[in-house]
Structure formats: structure tokens, C-alpha cells
Structure 1
Amino acid sequence: MKFRYAKLIALTICGSLLLSACGGENAEPQTNADGKPIISWLNILHSASPPTDTVLSKIEEITNTDIQFSWIPDASKEERLNTSLASGSLADIVSITIMENSSVRNALKAGVFWEVGPYLDEFPNLKEISADMRNSASIDGKLYGIPMQKQVARNGVIIRKDWLDKLGLPVPKTTAELMEAAKAFTEQDPDGNGSKDTTGFIDRSDLVFGAFKTLGSYFGTPSGWAVSEDGKVTPEFESEGYVKAMDYMKELYNNGYINQDFAVTAKKDQQEGFAQGKAGIYVGALFDSKNLLNLAKGVQDDMDLIMVNDITSTGNESDRAIWSTSNGVGGLLAFPKSEVKDEAELKQVLKFMDDLMSEEVYTLMTYGIEGVHYSLEGNAATITDTKLWEQEVQPFSSSRPNENGYDIHDSDPLRVESDRLIQENTKYAVLNPMYSLESATFSEQGSELQKIITDATYKYILGKLDLQGFQDAVQTWRKSGGDKMITEYEAAYQAVQNK
């Protein structure tokens, strides 16, 4: 019997028990009445409700499988996954998007899931997963699932091109030119309303996905951590580039070239403020440009945006860099040995994963069915029924093993350009060398320790701490567990290097 809404409803009723009390017992490998392999999948749901069967049936047809999804709401994924690991109530495929979770890492290292690294090159699509991606997704040098391949480095600067043109300014290529644009947007009435009611930058209370970390890249800040040739590990906030980025933000703040409440501004308010014409520079994900322009319709209809991804502090092309905290890894699609019993079954599931990475299946999971959910002109797809797409297609977006490198693309010109620039960013991405490594102190105290640095960074930018005060905060971080974290990361790094 096919696993559809009856079981989805049962899962909801079972609540935190998830699969342990409803269908969690595992039988021998099964096929359905048509002889298709049955593949169960414990997956994360990022939308309000699971998808209907429309697109799922097409995916099953192409992959010659019977897919049985068990959906976990994103808001409760950590609790539900911990429960499933503890009870052994898993599935053939388990979507793991919280790799820093101690229960998950312990399960991976304990051999609960198959190591798949030795098998990838047997499959045409899986073998294309890069060495950097494989390494970044590995635990202690071993790959325990298919990496969910996301964009490696998606950030850049979005600027009001119409404002640049009105004020006779070039598209900034250096941080100094970006500062000049911010000054002009603040002081020279770029919207022509006769009032000084605009700023250069509009930012939000986020030192990672807001402006700060991207600006830090332009000043040479490492991504999370740096490792010297002799294996010494240092945190990004002890770098010269980090201090330069703080000084840059401090200058913006002191001169009024950035919204003065940026430290407490939510992303929604930031985007709405930009769309309303309150500022002309937005730093964040380049694909946000499409949403910003849509928000501006009927409010700032003359808005013309340009995306910039090649800013440096020196003007030298060789210094181009952009941060990548997760190195493009969105998690793992892992295969528990309790469900996937032997190598033959593993290869069957890997074949299914390989099929999911085809252009045809990617298109189904991204845009849906041509003529039903979208229209196609050349390789450009336009969603024609947004509501139906949200119901039948959008929930699959988090299930894609790979999101990069396909020919079909969104027809919107801004999205096309942002995708091109994001792909170009990959060549200049600064990877986090500690991403796949483990520190017990980071797992236990990482958030608490990071708060020390986050608070000190904001206080420095806002003029409430001088450089010595910031450095004192760094020493507090070190004494409170940072030194121990560094020692653990150095040991983990050396252990992998010596394998």
C-alpha cells in the first residue's frame, strides 16, 4: 500500500513519537505491487503542508521507485531527529540539516549510517561532487551521506543604479568607492524630493547575513577560522580584516551613512525600508534583489538595481574574496544501516540519489510540471500558477541533493543575473576550514561564547568600546572556553591531515 496522506496524518497524531509507534518497525527490503523498490525518506518540511502526489508521482515514474515520505516540520526538526535516533525509528534516507547537533554527530561517528565516499564515483551525477564539497561534508575525514549541495557563496552588494546615475557616480569596485556612494546617497538627495531623508546603507541586526561579514571578506577576514601552515588555528575576530570591517561600519554609523537603528532592525523591516526608498545600498544574498524590486512595485516604480560581487578594499582583482560559512553544504542525505541492510541496498538507494540529481528531476522539484505549474521559453521558466506551485512543488525544494549548475533557470532577469554572480562567487569563496571538524567546547558553549564577541563587535561599531575594550572581550572569550575550543580544533585538524 502506498504511503500517502493516511500515514502523514498518522505521523501528526503520533507527535514526538514520530515513527517509533507508527510504522517504525522495519521489514525486509520491499517492492510495491508494480515491482518498484520502496524507498522511505525521513525529510524536513519547510512549507505549511506536505505536497500532494502530482509531482511526486512524476518523480517516482522517472526514478522507477515508490517514495514514502515522512515529513518533519522544520520548527521541530532537532527534537524529532533526536527522538528518531534514540529510538532507532529511521528510514532508508534521513535528511540531516543540523550537522552541529551532538546527537547527530555522535550517531554519524558511531557507524549508525553508511560511509558512502568509496561509492560515489560509481554513479555519473554523484561522482561530480567536488573534493571540497566531500571534505566539507565529512566527519573525521569520512563521508556519511550525500552532501546537500547549496550555493557556496551567495552574498554581495545590491545598489540603486538609478541613484548612482542621477548623482553621476560609478558602480563601486572598492570599499572606498562604496563609502563615497553611501555618503552621496545620504547627503545629495538621490530621490530628488528636496529632503535629506535617505541613507546609504540599510542593514539589520545580523553580523553574519547582514552587511558586516560580507564587508569583512572585502578586508580579508577569514571565514570563521584561519589555519596557518603549521596548523595553528585562530578565530576570524582576531584578524586584521575583522577590525578593519568594524572600523568601516563605525565610520558609516558615525557619519549617518547607515540607518542608525541597524543593530536592532529586523530583516523584514530592512527590506521594506529599502523598497520604500529609505536607502540605496543593501548587503546580503544577491538573489534578494528580485524580492526587493517586487516589494518596491507601486512604491518606487523607477527603482533600478545593480548587483555587485567584485568589490575589494585594495582595487586588486587578486584580492577578491567572499565568505562561505557552511562551504555550500546544506546537510547530508544519510542512509542508516538499520534500514539499508547491505551494500546491494545501499547501491540501490545511491542510484536513486543519482537519479534525483538529473536535470529532469531537478526541474520537477524546483518548477514543477510544464504547462501545469510553469511555462518555458528556451531554458527560462516562469511560474504560471503560484498557489498551485506552493502546494505541489515548493515542499520538494529542501529535498534536492543539488541546487547548482542546471540549464533551466528562473526567467526573471534579476534572478538570472544573481544566479550568475553567485556561481562566479564560487571561484573566490573563502571556505571555513573548521566546518566539518568537531570541538566539544563549541558544541557545548559555542552560542554562549559567540555572544561575547557579537556584543563586543556591536559596542565597538556604536562607539561604546574602544579597540582595547574589544580586545579585552576577546581575552574573556579565550578564558571562558575559547582557548580550549582552539586546542580541540587544532587536534581535530591535525588528525584529519594525518589520515
Structure 2
Amino acid sequence: MKKLMTTTLSALLSVTVLMTGCTQGKNTTDTDKRSTNAPAGEKGTDPTSEPKKDITVSVYDRGSVPAAEGTTEDNRWTKWLNESGPSNVKFVPIPRWESAQKLNVLFASGSAPDLIFEYNPVIMDTFYTQKQLMPLDDLIEKHSTVYKNLLEQYPALRKVGTKSDGKLYSVARLASVQPIHGLLIRKDWLDKLGLEVPTTVEELLTVAKAFTEQDPDGNNADDTYGISLSFKSQDVIQSFFNAYGINPAIPLVVENGELVISWENQKLAVDYMKQIFEMGAADKDFLNDANGAKAKQDFLNGKLGIYPNQVGTYFDFAVNSLSVLKKNDPAAEVIPIAYPASSKGSYNPAFTNPVQVTAYVNANAKNPDAVMKYIDFASEVSTGRKLGYGDDGTHHVIGENGCPVVTDADKFKNEVAYNGDLQMLVSGLLDVECGDPELKFNVNDPIQKEGLEMHRMAKEAYLDVNKPYPGITHPEHYPMLPEDLSLIMTGAIEAIQPIWYKSVLGGSSYTTDQAMQDAIMAWEKSGGKKVEDWYQDWYINSKDTAFLAKDIYDMIETK
């Protein structure tokens, strides 16, 4: 059990950080040409005007690049960025879910990349306090055109990237608000068993049990289970009960206008997971599925009926996941459903970050001017279109609306879809011509047409400004704890997370009531009250100026 807890905990120690999918947009027409169509009418720097300088750039390694395409650091798109961009780039692969460990090793050895892409601000805050990051104000003023103009037009970019010393340390992108978490369900299984779409947590349990016990795939084998409890599925379930806080173990949430740690809400969520586990409706080995890979494979193989997950964009889901499921089970029908109501109310899911910090410059970068030129190039609308759609005539055609339409989903999946992490500076919101996510779907492709229907259903179910957001803000906009309090928080998480898991697995011998008492005791013993007081003071003093859930909702309403 100890090994089981430790393995899972290592994947959950950091703040729960959401990942947006690829941005939408048009592309240039072939890989040896570069469009000068840049945001704000600004033309990109001609990469042939002066000798290119060498830089190193990190890129997440998800193990998703097909062997025929090369590797994470060497494939057709890294080559295109080198051929078409203003700098000679050596890409450095960073394991997606082990980025903290990898970056720590690289910085400690003096070999960290010049430009670091990272979604988790907590990881990068550590390097900021160690003075490992370069302030960007002068660099942008002297060497930027594209991003400099974006800062002037969208002050929120500077707001989210400025640290306590008043200097800008990070680069961000803009996006429309989209649901990133979701609750997916096999509609064909519901129909086969004569069940309605569940609208309450109790009804969801009933459906999960039926999916496990009543042979919904009709193969006369006991080989299905109702719902996933792995990895991000836990975040979704916590959201049902307003327990999706700053960390999976610490439910820091807003209730009745006040910032509190709601141990009771967390207990409700753990109670629910315990019920699922004890009725046999989830994989008994879910804790060892630390990154959710097994749950995903079970879903794609047609063995999982309810999939709470970080869905990303529904275009990517259709191309990368729904297409696989349909090959394995052509009759499969998947729909996103609204989060079920609980005793705490009805909540929206987590959203994408509309103003998202994604990039930082190493303080020891040898050619910071070349890094800035690459940032400009990677921020251009034309770059996003190219990476987002691939080559005209090969991966897409220009549709009647003047925007690219993917023509061969399998070819797109194998040759384009894996490059999303090269698009972390692309602001999809700026592509006014083709930035609407719906325009990316090819309605003549049955899989993409189904994905478009899912996208629309998700918007209807999840972008509901009348429902509260499950958290204070997007996790990437939480404030940075002082170093001493950060150490307290880390120690508290290490002590508390195994308590909740022990309760899920412990049956009647270890109840959730006892777990809650033990969690509170561990929190107090670790000095957690200091952390709690700090967050409460921050909320009282900053709730009118910080980027909070209300700001995200404002962006939904003004879209």
C-alpha cells in the first residue's frame, strides 16, 4: 500500500494544472514558405535578413510522435520551425508529467534550455525565486515587434506575467474560454440498457453500476466497468462537490463569498469515490494508473462507460480518440453531459485558461535576442495556422469560408495532430478569420461531424454563466506562496493525500469521517493554518484586482 500511495502521490503533488489543446487557425500553404500574416497587422521578421543564432527550446514529450514522423525533438514540424523561423533551434524534450523533476535537474546542471515552455506556474515560480529566469521588459523593448504589440493591445498579458518585483518574466497567449474537463458517457450503452442521461450524482452511480454489471457491450463477458477514477477523473468528481481546489488534497474553495478550506466538501467527494470503488464500478488498480493511460486505453477499447477526464478540444478528441474508439466499436456513441447535481449544487467544469502563461527565458540564455525573435515568430497567427492545419493540399483544403478543412483525419492525426506543444505561444483568439474552433471540423468527415456535435453539446452544457465555477480561478492564476509556506504546503500534501486514498480503499475499517479528522489533524500539525491565513488575506485584499473566476465568466459573456 505504501508503494501504491507514493507512486500516485508523486503525480499529484503540484497544483492541478490544465492543458489547453491546439489553437485553431489557418496555415500557410507549404512547408518551405512562411506567411508574413502576423497579429495586429505586424509583419514577422524576415529570417534571412541576418545570420541565425543558436538557441535551445524545451518541448513536452508525451510519447505521441509516430515513429514514422521521428521524435519529439526531431520531426517535420521542428524542422519546419528551424527552416522557416528566425533562429537555429535545438529542441529539448521534457517528459510531460515529470517536468518539475527534469527541469530541476537541467537547471542544477546549468543545461536548462534558453526558452522553457511550462504550463505549471508553481514549477516556474521556484526558478523565479532562485533568480534563474530573465526579466523580459528590456528584451521585448529592444528585440520584439509582434509580442511587443500584443502587450500594448492586451494589458492582461502583462498583468499575468508580472512578478512581485514589478518586472515581466513570462510570455502568455490568449484564447477563447472553452471547457477543458468533461464528463463523457456512452450514449449507446444508455440506450441499450434503457437508461436516461444521469442528472444527479445518485443517478450517475446507478448508471455506473449498470454499465459494470449488465453487459452493455453485449459480448456476454464480464469485461466492462462503469466509470474511471484515474488521474484527472478525480478532479472532475471533486468538482461535483465544490472540492476542486488548489490541490487534489487541499480543497481551498470559495463558499458564501469567503475563501475556505472545505474539508466537508472533500469528504463528500471521497465518499463518492469510495462508493464507486466498493461497488466494483471502477478499475480496482486505479491508483497505479498515475497518468490515466490505462483508463484512456480502456475507453478507446470500448470497455469504459463513463469517462470523467481532461478532454481538451473536441476536434483533437474526435481525431485522436473518437476515431480509435469507432474502429474498435463502430456502434459507439459518446456524448458530453452536464455535471450531475450534488448536495452542494450544480457546477461547471474547469475551463481553459483565456490568458495563459506558457513560456519563460533562462537567465543564462546566450542569445536572448534570438530567443525573442523565436517568441515573435511562434506568436504569429500564420505560424499557428501552419502548425494547426499542416500543408494545404496534403492535410487540408481551403473551404468555402476561406478557412482550412482537414481532408484526411488519419493522415492529419499521424502527421499533424502531435505538434500541439509547439503551439504554446499561439493565441487562437487573434485569428479573427478562422479562429472559431467550429471552423476546424470537416462536416463531410463522419468522425469530425460527430466531434462537432460533441463540441456544441459541451458548450451548451458547460459554458453556463448561471452555474458557479469549481474553484477560485484557473489554477495557473493562483498566487505564489512565499517559500516557507510553500514548503509547509508540500509537506501537508504529502501527509494528507495518502489519507484520502486510504479511505477510498479501506472499506469499513477506515471511514471517510475518520479520514477527514486525520486530514485536519495533519494539516494543523504541518502548520497549514499559516497557509490558510495567507490565502485568505490574499483573497480579501486581491479579489477585486486578481484574475479570478468572475473574469473568466466575463470573457464568456463578451465572446
Q: In 2, are the aligned partners of 1:40 and 1:69 still within 8 Å (CA)? A: yes
Cα distance between partner residues in 2 of 1:480 and 1:98? 24
State the match for 1:483 in structure 2.
529
Structure 1 CA distance for aligned equivalents of residues 528 and 441 of structure 2: 44
State the 1:387 CA deviation: 7.6
**3-state SS, counterpart of residue 322 of structure 1:** coil
Alignment of structure 1 residues 35-434 onto 2, 5 Å? 35=49, 41-46=55-60, 48=71, 49-52=73-76, 55-56=80-81, 59-60=84-85, 66-75=86-95, 77-79=102-104, 82-83=107-108, 91=114, 94-97=116-119, 99-101=121-123, 103-106=126-129, 112-114=135-137, 125-126=150-151, 131=156, 137-140=161-164, 143-148=168-173, 153-194=179-220, 197-204=223-230, 206=231, 209-210=232-233, 212-224=234-246, 226=252, 234-235=260-261, 238-265=262-289, 267-287=292-312, 289-290=317-318, 291-313=320-342, 319-323=346-350, 329=356, 331-334=358-361, 349=372, 353=375, 356-378=378-400, 379=403, 381-382=405-406, 384=408, 394-395=418-419, 397-402=421-426, 404-405=428-429, 406-407=435-436, 408-411=439-442, 412-417=448-453, 425=462, 429=469, 430=471, 431-432=473-474
Query: Structure 1 252/228 Cα, relative in aligned 2: closer, same or farther at 3 Å?
Result: closer
1:439 aligns with 2:462: no
Matched AA of 1:43 = V
1:272–1:353 CA distance, 2 compared to 1 (3 A) = closer
Cα 1:450/1:413, change in 2 over 3 Å:
farther
2:35 alignment partner in structure 1: none
Deviations 1:402-457 (A, max 9, x none): 36442352542354455556767566643257723223246445444323222111
Give 1:305 shift.
0.9
Calculate the aligned-residue CA RMSD, in Å. Answer: 4.6
Question: Residue 396 of structure 2 contacts residue 404 of structure 2 at CA under 8 Å; is this kept in 1?
Answer: no
Cα distance change on mapping 1:458 and 1:83 into 2, 3 Å: closer
Contact 1:55/1:393 (<8 A) preserved: no
Cα distance between partner residues in 2 of 1:121 and 1:198: 51
* Partner SS state of residue 45, structure 1: strand
Counterpart residue identity of residue 334, structure 2: L
If the length of structure 2 is used for normalisation, what is the TM-score? 0.64
Percent identity over the alignment? 24
Contact 1:99–1:105, Cα closer than 8 Å, also in 2: no
Q: Could you tell me how far apart the structure 2 residues matched to 1:37 and 1:54 are? A: 17
Distance in 2, matches of 1:221 and 1:164, equals 28
**Correspondence 1:469 to 2:515:** yes
Amino acid across the alignment from 1:106:
T
CA distance in 1, matches of 2:153, 2:454: 23
> Are the structure 2 counterparts of residues 400 and 159 from structure 1 closer, same or farther at C-alpha, using a change threshold of 3 Å?
same
Give the residue type in structure 2 aligned to 1:293: L
> Could you tell me whether the CA contact under 8 Å between 1:437 and 1:489 is conserved in 2?
no
Cα 1:79–1:417 change in 2 (3 A) is farther
Cα 1:108–1:40 change in 2 (3 A) is: farther
* Structure 2 counterpart SS, 1:100: helix
The alpha-carbon deviation at position 247 of structure 1 amounts to: 1.7
Structure 2: how far apart are the matches of 1:245 and 1:183? Answer: 18
- Output the CA distance in 1 between the equivalents of 2:129 and 2:307: 40
Contact 1:202 1:273 in 2 (8 A): no
Using the alignment, how far apart are the partners of 1:161 and 1:372 within structure 2? 34
Q: Helix, strand or coil: the match of 1:277? A: coil
Q: Aligned partners of 2:178 and 2:263: how far apart in 1?
A: 22
Please tell me the residue identity of whatever aligns with 2:384.
Y
Query: What secondary structure is seen at the aligned counterpart in 1 of 2:243?
Result: coil
Give the aligned residue type for 1:435.
Y
Structure 1 residues 404 and 183: alpha-carbon distance in aligned structure 2, compared to 1, 3 A threshold: farther
Assess if the C-alpha contact under 8 Å between 1:156 and 1:283 holds in 2.
yes
Q: 2:208 is aligned with what amino acid?
A: A
- Return 49-58 or 292-301, whichever deviates more: 49-58
Maintained 8 Å contact 1:364/1:393: no
Question: Highest Rg: 1 or 2?
Answer: 1
Partner-residue secondary structure (3-state), 2:204: helix
Higher relative contact order (CA 8 A, sep 6+): 2
* Cα separation, 2, equivalents of 1:152 and 1:130: 21
Structure 1 stretch displaced more, 472-481 or 440-449: 440-449
Return 5+ residue gaps in structure 2 as ranges. 1-44, 62-70, 430-434, 443-447, 546-559
What is the TM-score normalised by the length of structure 1?
0.71
Say whether the 8 Å CA contact 1:160–1:305 is kept in structure 2. Answer: yes
Q: For 1:270 and 1:495, locate their aligned partners in 2 and report how far apart those are by CA, in whole Å.
A: 42
Preserved CA contact (<8 Å) 2:302 2:329:
yes
Q: Cα deviations across residues 158-205 of structure 1 (Å, max 9, x unaligned)?
A: 11110111222222333233223223323433223445553321332x
Task: Look up the SS of the partner of 2:215 in the other structure.
Answer: coil
Q: Return the alpha-carbon distance in structure 2 between the equivalents of residues 247 and 450 of structure 1.
A: 19
Whole-Å Cα distance in 2 between the matches of residues 360 and 277 of structure 1? 38
Report Cα offsets for 1:59-113 as digits up to 9, x if no partner. 54xxxxx2232322214750465258x68x975x554555323552225698644
How far is 1:268 from its partner?
A: 2.6
- Closer, same or farther: CA 231–475 of 1 in aligned 2, 3 Å: farther
Tell whether the 8 Å contact from 1:50 to 1:395 is kept in structure 2 after alignment: no
Q: CA deviation at 1:35?
A: 2.6
Q: Contact 2:378–2:423 (CA<8 Å) still a contact in 1?
A: no
Contact persistence 1:137–1:436 (CA under 8 A):
no
Alignment CA distance shift 1:90-1:256 (3 Å): closer
TM-fit CA distance, 1:282: 0.9
User: d(CA) in 1 for partners of 2:146 and 2:383?
Assistant: 20
Shifted more, 327-336 versus 270-279: the winner is: 327-336
**Matching residue of 1:449:** 492
Cα distance in 2 for partners of 1:469, 1:83 equals 38
